Homo-oligomer: A and B are copies of this chain.
Amino acid sequence: MGNKAITERDKDFAQWYTDIVRAAKLADYTSVKGCIAIEPNGYAIWEKIQEIMDKKFKELGHVNVQMPLLIPENLFNQEKELIKGFAPELVWVTEVGNEKLEERFAIRSTSETVFCDYYKKHINSYKDLPKLYNQWCNVFRYEKETRPFLRSREFLWQEGHTVHATAEEAEAEAKRMMDVYLWFNREILAIPSISGKKTEKEKFAGAEYTITCEDLMYNGVCLQDGTSHYFGQKFCKAYDVKFTNRDNKEEYAYYTTWGKTTRMIAAIIMVHADDYGLVLPPRIAPKQVVIIPIGKDNEEVDSLVKEFNTKLNENNITSYIDDSEKSPGFKFAEAEVNGIPVRIEIGARDLANGTVTVARRDTREKIVIKKEELTVQYISDLLEIIQKDMYQKALERQNKLTFEAHTYEEMKEIIDKQPGFIHGDWCGNEECENKIKELKGCKSRCILDEKLLTGKCVCCGKEAKHHVVWGIQY
């Protein structure tokens, strides 16, 4: 029996997801279809994501910039594959006041065009390279079906755009940043991900190749949760980004871009939340601990609550006191819905017995400890245990939902029964990808650098070239 405002996860996963978003006050719908209002609880998670990722980017030498939101149609058209890939989802500005513009502007759906246009002016010599720029901003893609955080017409992201003097350096950068994403998912979001190159069909429009980071949700559906693209010299040719190399020859530059979005909040929900609400990994939780005094006007209770709350905050554990008028039961439920990792209950009767209660959000376990045991170190250790346990739980589920298919029939059987990460060899032919897609929209997630399973394509039975992970996606 979970929270009344939340549909059971095993009964109706889609409704459960929407209920969590609303019950935990993460976001709400607005008068603009497909665009959400990110509410304080949701935005605080995004701020925490930004803080940790941005620090890491800067440690690696990246700097932030801000490029224009609007892109002249003519500029977008310079790279044919990109415009083809994004055209149906582009939103166009055509009027100012009541006058028609001579040229349409697209609202950015991604900023490769804008960055290359900038770099063209600012890169002359190999001495100007590398350029390691990133921006945090909003982007717009007019999706048909939308769901909060998962697929919004407007969303927030960071987009890294780097330019290099050699192919090797650029490829190393694309890989390095994917490694940062995988580190972030694993260590901060407690989400195990798999990673590899996308197939030609699934790669970013205009890239040489795309490396992806794929998560598995509770229901076995896959989520693309960050990509890193290597463009070779392709984009720089289209946008005329040249430099004089060490041999004093003019050459086109090598380009990478990489992005991760507010979709991460959807991943946190669909990997960790339960029937009682959100469950936040301690390292990403804007508030890690709530202290709830039980009963009123007890001096010993009130002073311990205040004192311990101050101690936690002084030691970089974000803690707050809920001393509102609501009943303890209501406060417990609210802290649960909001996913606060640790709840401390301090009451007069327990104190008389020399105890306090500590509750873990992830397991919902209540631990009665001696008053003296309640130390900063105890809570700090518990938060680390929760972080690790949450990752372990997600990893075990992912392992349980990882399958092998040797034939098309086996693949169909798996997908009909319980989708997940499905390993299966592939001949490299797009026709086979299309045929597999007929199985409830199952697509190649990524190519893994592992041995082939059988050496035969899971679809056509011909000789396989790649070991691929397949799955149904959001």
Chain A residues packing against B (C-beta within 8 Å)? 28, 30-32, 35-40, 43-44, 46-47, 63-72, 75, 87-97, 104-105, 107, 114, 117-118, 121-122, 133, 137-138, 140, 142, 154, 156
Contact A31 B64 (CB under 8 A): no
Smallest distance from the beta carbon of A75 to chain B beta carbons, Å? 6
5 closest cross-chain pairs (CB), A and B: A35-B68, A40-B63, A38-B66, A92-B95, A88-B97
How far, in angstroms, from A176 to B38 measured CA to CA in the complex?
26
Question: Which B residue's beta carbon lies closest to that of A132?
Answer: B40
How many copies of the shown chain assemble into the complex?
A: 2
Contact B118 A37 (CB under 8 A): yes
Question: Which B residue's beta carbon lies closest to that of A39?
Answer: B65
Residues of B within 8 A of A88 (CB): 97
Contact A68 B36 (CB under 8 A): yes
Contact of A97 among B32, B89, B156 (CB under 8 A): B89
Contact B30 A68 (CB under 8 A): yes
Smallest distance from the beta carbon of A425 to chain B beta carbons, Å? 37
Q: Which of A37, A90, A117 has the most CB of B within 10 A?
A: A37
Contact A96 B92 (CB under 8 A): yes
How far, in angstroms, from A72 to B30 measured CA to CA in the complex?
10
How far, in angstroms, from A96 to B97 measured CA to CA in the complex?
19
Q: Which of A36, A66, A118 has the most CB of B within 10 A?
A: A66
How far, in angstroms, from A122 to B28 measured CA to CA in the complex?
10
Contact B63 A32 (CB under 8 A): no
Contact of A156 among B35, B66, B72, B133 (CB under 8 A): B66
Contact B65 A32 (CB under 8 A): no
Residues of B within 8 A of A39 (CB): 65
23 A-B residue pairs with Cβ-Cβ distance under 8 Å, sorted by A, are: A28-B118, A30-B114, A30-B118, A31-B75, A31-B114, A35-B70, A36-B68, A37-B66, A37-B114, A37-B118, A38-B65, A39-B65, A43-B65, A44-B64, A46-B66, A69-B107, A69-B138, A89-B96, A91-B93, A92-B95, A93-B94, A93-B107, A94-B95
